[in-house]
Structure 1
Amino acid sequence: MSNVLRCISPIDGSVFAERPVLTNAEADAVVARAQAAQADWAARPLTERIDLVMKGVARLGEMNDEIVPELAHMMGRPVRFGGEFGGVKERASYMAGIAEEALAPLVIESSEAFDRRIKRVPQGVVLVIAPWNYPYMTAINTVAPALIAGNTVVLKHASQTLLVGERMVRAFVEAGVPEDVFQNVFLDHDTTSALIGAGHFGFVNFTGSVGGGRAIERAAAGTFTAVGLELGGKDPGYVMEDADLGKAVDTLMDGAMYNAGQCCCGIERIYVVESLYEDFVDKAIVFAEAYKLGNPLDEATTLGPMANKRFAAEVRAQTSEAVAAGARALIDPSRFPEDDGGTYLMPQILVDVTHDMRVMRDESFGPVVGIMKVKDDEEAIRLMNDCDFGLTASLWTADIDRADAIGDRIETGTVFMNRADYLDPALCWTGCKDTGRGGALSVIGFHNLTRPKSYHFRKG
């Protein structure tokens, strides 16, 4: 494996950034410093840790004018959308706000005879392996609560967003977080696996592919390291006969196409009741045709390139396979300046699709969505569950009881009603099946980043 990591910009295929990977000895030294610093960091008052974390977030916000074009160069998101700081601040602020209550001891008894309680104590050193598609927001989901809870953090980012971890750590250190408490690393896969396999971490959080998640679990096998995994998704939307059609189209199509479809909880398949199907499809075509595909540094661009040629190639393959098997592509390629075989990929809507097609079963992670007609709730539930993944599902109806009953039967981590593609920091971000295990954010996020420790004191 090369000893240098390179970020190839999807804008023009040039090398935007490169960094040397750490040797095994250098990586071990990083972890040793994190281990040595953890006890002192955890001994600081909770209010002090919260204050330093929020100062780090604020310092990151001050860098936003540099971050936004940097993200466009690294992974292709148009500058017009302004980066990720709003989400970063919302999530970190929420976790800071609930920290005192979430981390408070659970008092079982406090009497003249006994003091019995359960405390939440840090896991130790937390390794965060973050993805490229929302590199700041996905990282902050674990970084902020891990530091607040008294852990030290080692952050490894995807090579596609090579500079993100470096910038995050710089912001936090400049804000006063000690250097050994929060460190960024550039690692190859073998060194990462070796560190995990050596049992150096109390908790490992990974967001990425199913294959990557399996590699993390193999590396951690036998070490008893706690692992949190958010892997693939194939999130469905279901539009019922009493839905607000206009809002359903706008929200579901935005969920399918935003960020060039490269969203963990993006909408990848839509099921529409027969009575609304034709109108939904017609409006979806208008929505998709309104996108402007182009250079993400151009303020007029609303759909940028995919982050890598191989990601775009997979979407093209799924789409062409579906068309060959009988699906119809509704968006005319002549409307978009797509490059042949490159990163710039036009939006596409497929109808006459079936679950025999990969585009309705495998993760696409690009600007393509399949739309199917369904007869009733039973058919919709069966199709939504006919998938190896389970992250979110979006239900569109005016009947909350109906949505609740359907939600109880869907194999997923989050059920939305009349919204989609949103992460609520007050709720646990979790998945099932091949989407992974564990949970981030909310009170449960703090519980995963700490371990229970029982105190049973007999007085006198």
Structure 2
Amino acid sequence: MAIATVNPATGETLRTYDAHGEEEVERRVAAAHETFRRYRTTSFAERARLMRRAADLLDEDAEDIARTMTVEMGKPITAARAEAAKCAKAMRWYADHAEGLLADEYPAQADVRDSGADAARVLYRPLGPILAVMPWNFPLWQVVRFAAPALMAGNTGLLKHASNVPRTALYLGDLFRRAGFPEGCFQTLLIGSGAVEAVLRDRRIAAATLTGSEPAGRSVAAVAGDEVKKTVLELGGSDPYIVMPSADLPRAVKTAVTARVQNNGQSCIAAKRFIVHTDVYDDFAERFTAAMNALTVGDPLDESTDVGPLATEQGRNDLEELVDDAVREGATVLCGGGRPEDRPHGWYYLPTVLTGITPGMRIHREETFGPVATLYPVSDVEEAVAVANDSPFGLSSNVWTRDRADVDLFVRDLEAGGVFVNGMTASHPALPFGGVKRSGYGRELSGHGIREFCNATTLWQRT
């Protein structure tokens, strides 16, 4: 398969890369395994020194790697710079906190005595080489949020990145090497998806993490299950954005636009289904549609661009099919609904708002990975919850209300890995991130994330 940098703003292939063959893959897997045997014994202080150095180098490289991400997958340059800064922040956070997050845990002394021991504690030990299968939409952040905790815990990493972001993938391997991490500690594998199974089945690979589509998650989980290996999966999302009558409507509208079109709408945690109480539905719909229609679609390297192209031609085709299906089934297009006439080259799609969505439409059940929003009117809080939960996904959710009773009900009843009240879903190193239902399992970030790839070892002793 092709491993190439293709500029989604023009469709031009900028560079192709030779995939790693079996011998090179074997060499890198062996290096990850051998390096782990030594690296796992390094101190937290030494790992933190290396991780801070990687963060410093990333800061120095920020403009170059931002342009690389924009050229490879089309995100606006301003968003690419923010992504690089966020990665450096996460590296430093784990450098500062990993030792405390993985500190030995001591049960209550009464429980220790009751177990028959004189002493007992729980230790967190690294598992070994971790295979990371990562997507293109946040090509730096998705990797760093795995790599920073995994390396700080004493694991080694092998990255199989999306095949349309090879320059970013190679940069990441080089970044950790330049920071001084031992050879083999973090490596990039330039391989296609068809080569993942063989790597995952290798006895030297301890576990795997995947961020991506539901089919990709199913495939990796099936192989890992057959091999009885730990996995963490962060899959698709169709996050609800609920607006109740007590909401600060201007703020809710402004944030809704950002929540939908962040990263050109290609984000698992982007708000996609806008569920609005009938008391404020007409006002919200009018303001939201006007704001979406006013966004600037254009060259992602232009500082004034709000929405760039979709990352791949197939991605735009898939989005068009969802919108066309909804329109055929009776949905109404309030704005957008097609390709911009002034952008004949590249994979652009206009910011789009649809209403009149029914359960039989594909767009009601499937994830819209692009700048397309669906509107749903609801009559009360119970209906809002019912519509929000009527999805196979459960990654995160957004709730806009100043009613404490509403908040309590949403937190209790929404089927999602997060509930963000009066704000937009976002990830932060200190907060666990992940979903339920077909959005995956396990958690990234925070103490939960760093412990996912550790062996919680019980030490029981008698003198």
| Alignment TM class, shorter chain as reference | over 0.9
Contact 2:51 2:92 in 1 (8 A): no
Which segment drifts farther, 358-367 or 394-403? Answer: 394-403
- Find the counterpart in structure 1 of residue 459 from structure 2: 455
Find the counterpart in structure 1 of residue 446 from structure 2. 442
The answer to whether the 8 A contact 1:130-1:207 is kept is yes
Look up the match of 1:85: 84
1:342 CA displacement? 5.2
Show the 5 A alignment for 1:25-424.
25-81=23-79, 82-108=81-107, 109=109, 114-331=118-335, 336-337=340-341, 339=343, 343-424=347-428
**Kept after mapping to 1: 8 A contact 2:9/2:345:** no
- Counterpart CA distance in 2 for 1:181 and 1:115 is 35
Q: CA deviation at 1:319?
A: 1.0
Kindly provide the amino acid, as one letter, of the partner of residue 371 in structure 1.
Answer: L
Counterpart-to-counterpart distance in 1, 2:82 and 2:19 = 27
Measured after TM superposition, the shift of residue 339 of structure 1 is 4.5
Separation of aligned partners in 2, 1:370 and 1:347 = 11
- The answer to whether the 8 A contact 2:163-2:192 is kept is no
Amino acid at match of 1:87: K
Amino acid at match of 2:30: A
Q: Distance in 1 between matches of 2:174 and 2:338?
A: 45
Instruction: Report the alpha carbon displacement of residue 80 of structure 1 after superposing the two structures with TM.
Output: 3.2
Cα distance, 1:235 vs. partner? 0.5
Flag the 1:127–1:338 CA change in 2: closer, same or farther, 3 A: farther
Shift of residue 421 of structure 1?
3.0
In structure 2, distance between residues paired with 1:421 and 1:346: 23
Moved more, 127-136 or 21-30: 21-30
Query: 1:401: Cα distance to partner?
Result: 4.1
Q: Partners in 1 of 2:78 and 2:194 — Cα distance?
A: 38
TM-score (norm 1): 0.95
Distance 1:181 1:151 in 2: 8
Shift of 1:238: 0.5
Aligned to 2:3: 5
Q: Please give the alpha-carbon distance, in whole angstroms, between the structure 2 residues aligned to 1:269 and 1:386.
A: 11
- Trace 1:424-439 onto structure 2 (pairs within 5 A): 424-439=428-443
CA-CA distance at 1:7 after TM superposition? 2.6
Q: How many angstroms apart in 2 are the aligned matches of 1:234 and 1:46?
A: 38
The 1:199/1:217 distance shift into structure 2, 3 A limit, reads farther
Contact 1:293–1:303 (Cα < 8 Å) also in 2: yes
Q: TM-score, normalised by structure 2?
A: 0.94
Shift of the 44–182 alpha-carbon distance from structure 1 to 2, 3 Å rule, reads same
Report the Cα offset of residue 159 of structure 1: 1.2
Deviates more, 1:57-66 or 1:373-382: 57-66
User: How many corresponding residue pairs?
Assistant: 457
Compared CA separation, residues 334 and 198, structure 1 to 2 (3 A): closer
Q: Cα distance, 1:443 vs. partner?
A: 0.8
Provide structure 1 residue ranges, at least 5 long, that are not aligned to the other structure: none
Q: What is the distance in 2 between the residues matched to 1:252 and 1:301?
A: 18
Question: Bigger shift: 241-250 or 57-66?
Answer: 57-66
Q: Once the 2 structures are TM-superposed, how far is the Cα of residue 115 of structure 1 from its aligned partner?
A: 2.6
Q: CA deviation digits over 1:343-402, x for unaligned, max 9? A: 111100011222222222200110000111100011111111111101001010012442
SS of aligned partner of 2:97: helix
- Residues 10, 345 of structure 2: 8 Å contact kept: no
